[in-house]
Structure 1
Amino acid sequence: MFFTYLRRELRRRRKAALVVASGLALGIALVIVVSSASAGMQQAQGKVLESLYGLGTDMTVTKAAPPPSEGGRERPRFNFDAQDGDETQSSDIVMPQGFETLASSTVGKVADQTGVAGAVGGLSLSVLKVDGEFKPGEFAPRENTSGGGGGGGTGGPQGEVRGGGANFDVNSYTVYGTDTAHQDLGPLTSSKITDGRTFETTETDAEVAVVDSAYAKEKKYKVGSDVTIKGTKFEIVGIATADSGDASANLYIPLKRAQTLSDSKDKVTTVYVKADDSQQIAAVKSAVQKNIPGTTVTTSADLADRVSGSLSTASDLATSVGKWLSIAVLIAAFVVAGLLTMSAVTRRVQEFGTLKALGWKSGRVTRQVVGEAMVNGLVGGALGIAVGVAGAYVLTAVSPSLTAEVGSAAAGPGGGGGGMIRAGGPAGQAADKAIEIALTAPISAATIALAVGLAVTGGLIAGAFGGWRASRLRPADALRRVE
């Protein structure tokens, strides 16, 4: 009897039921789109941090920068030997990024801290290469127009030097020295070997290199090619492609070889740390800072706070404006659904009064009204899910490109560091080098469950309004309206 009457009433009042369901559907669809967009932005931010930080890394340890009062950093100098005639000159300056290094023994100290599952050291280098040639000028004797002797009274040739000069090309790139015996941590883990191979564990001091795919394409490198760094020739054994964003370095070489090239024996610039438990990251950070003075510990959460640009702005917009807009629309939809249901009950005074006169209890009438409202809510939920999924699909298909930058809060001494984040990865992405991420709007099971919960809630709220009105009806109200 309940379902028969329910089906008949919903068919008879299709327009009113559709209005209630549409209002709920609008609010639910908006919640799905906003939730999906927010989840997509969080994923995009995760990709940015992953490309800057390295997979499997919970925190990094670097040397604390000295105060500016202790003086600025040393500027690079180039020395060339002057030669007669045309002479090609080349000079490489290899220096640790940020000009701050830690002793290699720091890696062991960090690994001994409570809660640390693993620690690996790496050496981030900047290479500035100058190539070119000096061309000496040519002496041109000055013509004698005085009609006298050619000496001009000075006893030497008269004339001027013409031509000559210098033509040099400056090229800079980044190199990361990786511990080939422990390749499960560090920036190279955020790239995938797409050609050739990675380092072998025995190649701790070998003259081999892995090249980032973008840099290899620019320089036309391939597996088997040679690249020369400060007079040392390295064979390229692999091409690595970053999983997202920019690679952490242009070239990767064994750690010991990087230390030799930069005159940084037993030195590292960064210690990459993996915690036993993600819940212990804060405690591990405190322990390292307390037990190993002169270091700066940066977690992925710290780095996330430095992400700026349209990615951060859009994420804030989705989580603030979008959230409150969704709440406002949902409240309006629930209130409208409740008022429409109560209005429909008021128009059915004669019907419900007659049913009560025939023996229906107030509770049965109330359950009937609540049942109708619940069906309207579920229909609205189904429509809302369909519209929300379609909206998320359209947002993903359009794929607006968002940018993210990392501020230079951890720059080296003297206000320098070249705008690089030393704690974020070996290459220390430059602050003016934005990473572009395509926005998606993934829909999770939790989002669908939230939509169903909202649909049920909307039905219950509308049913509560209507049920309260129906419970107050009396059979005499119906008799007074009988014509």
Structure 2
Amino acid sequence: MFFTYLRRELRRRRKAALVVASGLALGIALVIVVSSVSAGMSRAQDKVLESLYGLGTDMTVTKAAAAPGSGGGRPKFEFDAKGDDDATQSTDRVMVQGFQTLASSTVAGIGGQNGVAGAVGGLSLNVMKVDGQFKRGEFKQDEGAGQGGRSGPGGQGGSAQPQGEFRGGGASFDANSYTAYGTDVAEQGIGPLTSSKITDGRTFKTSETDAKVAVVDSAYAKEKKLGVGKTVTVHGTKFTIVGVSTADSGDAAANLYVPLKRAQTLADAKEKVTTVYVKAADPQQIDQVKAAIQKNVPGTTVTTSADLADTVSGSLSTASDLAAGVGKWLSIVVPAAAFLVAGLLTSSAVSRRVREFGTLKALGWKSGRVTRQVVGEALVNGLLGGVLGIGIGLAGAYAVTAISPTLTAQLGGSGGAGGGMGGGRFMGGQGGPGRAAASKTLDIALTAPVSLSVILIAVALAVAGGLIAGGFGGWRASRLRPADALRRVE
């Protein structure tokens, strides 16, 4: 009897049921779209951060910032005076980025802290290369000058001084810089190289701890026309390229990757690292691990991904703040308003069915049975609204993913020595080599992934909306008396 009456009433009041269901559907669809976009923002930020410190890294440890004026100084370049004018001279300098290093033993000390699942050291280098040639000038004698030239002072038979000038000559040199990263080939699961994929050749072998081999970033390889099997010379050492890597998003952490021990030799920084990449055993205990490292390993700066996320600016940060602020409030206010409107519409519908419910009570229906009937109808409307809302929400999320709007993320310096997560990027021509770049800009395509939990939340909202609307109407219906129906009889 319950389902028969329910089906008949819903069929009779299709328009009213559709209005209630549509209101709930819009609220539920908004929740799905906002939640999926927020998830996409979070995923985009993760990509930005992983482009710097790689997969599996929860925090980095660098040396505490040095006092102003205590840096390593400017690099010096020396050239020999060669007789051949056409001879090209070239020299390079390998410098530790930031000039701040930690002892390699620090890696083991950090790895032994409670809550640390793994720790790997890395050495970030900046290679400054200068090449060019000197050109000898020529002396041009004046045409009006005599063969004997000019006598000395006072015409007293001084040595002859030819008249004329030097023309031409000078020097033409180009300065180029690129970044190199010394990676621990025995532990390749943590660090900046994990943010790239090997697209040609291979990665390092665990036995190549001091080998003269290198992995080159694909963008740099294309610019310099490098490839697997070719060689690149760094400070007089020839490295054979064994692989080409491509960054998953944005720029790679370095242009060139070499074994850590070999990088230490190049920079004259034996048993030194610039950054220690740390993986926590429990992602929920990152703050506790950070505190333990800061307490037990003095003279270091610990930077977590959350700390680095605070430096993200640009349209990604603005959109993320908007989704986290206004978007979440809308996802709360709009469904609440939809539930309220659905409740009021259901209550209004009950008031138009006074004669019907009064007559049913006169025929022996209890108030509880009438209430259940109204709640049942409202619950069906809510489920119908849930289905419509999930469909609209999925369509909206798919549209965002299909359009994939591009957001810009700008990462500022972390303030710590060595550049924070990933050791920082260095730019030639902006304050000289060895100076950390002020920011790094990446373009990230926004997606809107929809998780199963969001769908379950949408179903729960649909049920809640139906129950709230049914509660309004059921309360109104339970207060009706048979006499109300008689007063409506014309």
| TM bracket (short chain) | over 0.9
1:129 paired to 2:136: no
1:188 aligned residue: 193
Tell me how far 1:159 sits from its aligned partner.
1.2
1:468 and 1:451 map into 2 onto residues whose CA distance is 25
Equivalenced residue count is 473
Contact map agreement 1:366 1:467 (CA 8 A) in 2: yes
The code of the aligned residue for 2:114 comes to T
> What corresponds to 1:74 in structure 2?
73
What does the per-residue CA deviation read over 1:68-108, in whole Å, with 9 as the maximum and x for residues that have no partner? 2x545411222122223413121211101111011112112
Alpha-carbon separation, structure 1, partners of 2:282 and 2:361: 64
3-state SS of paired residue (1:434): strand
Question: Does 1:45 find its partner at 2:50?
Answer: no
**Native 8 Å contact 1:142 1:158 kept in 2:** yes
Among 471, 475, 485, which residue is 1:468 paired with?
Answer: 475
| Distance in structure 1 (CA, Å) of the matches to 2:289 and 2:440 | 31
| 1:450-469 correspondence runs (5 A) | 450-469=457-476
- State the alpha-carbon separation in 2 of the partners of residues 218 and 149 from structure 1: 56
Q: Give the aligned partner of residue 275 of structure 2.
A: 270
- 1:389 partner SS: helix
Q: Do the aligned partners of 1:129 and 1:170 also contact (CA within 8 Å) in 2? A: yes
Deviation at 1:284, TM superposition (A): 2.4
Structure 2: distance between partners of 1:139 and 1:393: 75
For residue 22 of structure 1, what is the aligned residue in structure 2? 22
Q: How does 1:214-225 map to 2 (within 5 A)?
A: 214-225=219-230
In the other structure, the counterpart of 2:430 is: none
The aligned counterpart of 2:406 is 401
Distance, in Å, in 1 between the alignment partners of 2:289 and 2:341 is 52
Residue from 293, 296, 311 that aligns with 1:288: 293
Secondary structure, aligned partner of 2:421: coil
SS at match of 2:326: helix
CA distance in 2, matches of 1:133, 1:411: 39
Q: What is the distance in 2 between the residues matched to 1:191 and 1:232? A: 25
Q: In structure 2, what is the equivalent of residue 364 of structure 1?
A: 369
2: CA distance between counterparts of 1:47 and 1:388? 25
1:8 match: secondary structure: helix
Q: Are residues 1:200 and 2:205 paired?
A: yes
Q: Could you tell me whether the CA contact under 8 Å between 1:227 and 1:236 is conserved in 2?
A: yes
Quick one: distance in 1 between partners of 2:101 and 2:71? 16
- Residue identity opposite 2:282 in structure 1: D
Aligned position for 1:242 = 247
Report the secondary structure of 1:406's partner residue.
strand
Name 2:450's counterpart in structure 1.
Answer: 443
Q: Is the 8 A contact 2:214 2:240 kept in 1?
A: yes
Cα distance in 1, alignment partners of residues 441 and 424 from structure 2: 17
1:388 and 2:388 aligned: no
Query: In the alignment, what sits opposite 1:13?
Result: 13
| Corresponding position of 1:434 | 441
Alignment of 1:481 onto 2:479: no
Q: Measure the CA separation in 1 of the matches of 2:344 and 2:141.
A: 105
Q: Do the aligned residues in 1 keep the contact of 2:52 with 2:421 (CA within 8 Å)?
A: no
Match of 1:306 among 311, 322, 347: 311
**Mapped contact 1:125–1:176 kept (Cα < 8 A):** yes
Q: Is the 8 A contact 1:405 1:433 kept in 2?
A: yes
Cα contact 1:123–1:426 (8 A) shared by 2: no
Residue aligned with 1:405, SS: strand
* Distance in 1 between residues matched to 2:4 and 2:283, nearest whole Å: 56
How high is the sequence identity, in percent, across the aligned residues? Answer: 75
Q: Aligned equivalents of 2:355 and 2:282: distance in 1?
A: 66
Instruction: Please give the alpha-carbon distance, in whole angstroms, between the structure 1 residues aligned to 2:281 and 2:346.
Output: 56
Whether the 8 Å CA contact 2:203–2:243 is kept in 1: the answer is yes
Q: Does 1:349 align with 2:354?
A: yes
Distance 1:286 1:341 in 2: 56
Kindly provide the amino acid, as one letter, of the partner of residue 284 in structure 2: Q
Task: Confirm whether residue 158 of structure 1 aligns to residue 163 of structure 2.
Answer: yes
User: Match for residue 325 of structure 2?
Assistant: 320
How far apart are the structure 1 equivalents of 2:328 and 2:384? 24
| In structure 2, distance between residues paired with 1:373 and 1:162 | 97
Q: Partner residue of 1:423?
A: 421
The residue that corresponds to 1:375 in the other structure is 380
Alignment-mate amino acid for residue 470 of structure 1: A
Which sits farther off after the overlay, 290-299 or 453-462?
290-299
Alignment CA distance shift 1:477-1:114 (3 Å): closer
- 1:176 and 2:181 equivalent? yes
Distance in 2, matches of 1:330 and 1:8, equals 28
Q: CA deviation at 1:149?
A: 4.7
Counterpart CA distance in 2 for 1:425 and 1:100 is 10
Contact 1:54 1:425 (8 Å CA) reproduced: no
The one-letter amino acid paired with 1:173 is Y
Match of 2:156 in 1: none
Q: Partner letter of residue 121 of structure 1?
A: G
- The alignment yields a C-alpha RMSD, in angstroms, of 1.7
Show structure 1 runs of 5+ residues with no match: none
Partner of 2:60: 60
Post-superposition Cα deviations, 1:197-222, rounded to whole Å, max 9, x if no partner, equal 11111211111100011111111111
- Aligned match of 2:431: none
Helix, strand or coil at the partner of 2:177: strand
Q: Contact between 1:404 and 1:436, CA under 8 Å: does it hold in 2?
A: yes
Structure 1 position 247, deviation (Å): 1.1
Aligned amino acid, residue 105 of structure 1: S
Q: TM-score, normalised by structure 2?
A: 0.93
State the secondary structure of the residue aligned to 1:443. coil
Q: d(CA) in 1 for partners of 2:268 and 2:72?
A: 17
Superposition deviation, residue 422 in structure 1: 3.3
**Matched-pair contact (CA < 8 Å) for 1:378–1:452:** yes
CA shift for structure 1 position 124: 0.5
Q: 2:231 aligns with which of 226, 229, 232?
A: 226
1:274 Cα offset (Å) = 2.1
**Alpha-carbon distance, 1:410 to partner:** 2.1
Kept in 1: contact 2:63–2:416 (CA 8 A): no
**397-406 or 424-433: which moved more?**
424-433
Flag the 1:395–1:73 CA change in 2: closer, same or farther, 3 A.
same
